[in-house]
Amino acid sequence: MPSLSQSHRPHRFSEVTGQQHVTETLRREVMTGLLAHAYVFSGPRGVGKTTTARIFAQALNCQTPKEGEPCGTCPACLAFAEGRLMDVIELDAATHTGVDTIREAIVEHVRFAPTFSKAKVYILDEAHMLSTSSWNALLKTLEEPPAYAYFILATTEWHKIP
């Protein structure tokens, strides 16, 4: 059973409170298509880093975004809402700190094109917890990603990210 915060998590940029400068920037990036391949979401615990990352991932894969917001009705949005969109990979770096996990979950799989949607999005929650060897394995992929791959690093300690 999902927790209270998970069941009432925002599903659109407009529903996120207190982060309008961030959500408006991301919404406009989706609208214009001018996107970076890696993002760092940093801030104290509970400000919505992972929630915003999930909305952004959904918007990137939405087949009919409306003014940068995910529509919520296309097949990609429905698959995302049901947790069966395989092209959005969320990894808790606090529990998966090892280099083998990063190689298996990201480095080896990023070279395969998305199976269902437009983009392959990797959300690394607590990214500062990755080991040095994990970062070394991941940096090459972050520097030269395939055109369809996007990385969102959510962290409370941005200074620990190389």
The CA–CA distances, whole Å, from 125 to 14, 21, 31, 40 equal 22, 21, 25, 10
Decide: residue 121, CB within 10 A, 0-12 exposed, 13-18 middle, 19+ buried. buried
pLDDT of 1 > 80? The answer is no
Average pLDDT value for residue range 106-123: 94
On whether the CB atoms of residues 89 and 106 are closer than 8 A, the answer is yes
pLDDT in tens, 86-112: 999 999 998 988 899 899 989 999 999
Section 107-125 average pLDDT? 94
The reported pTM is: 0.94
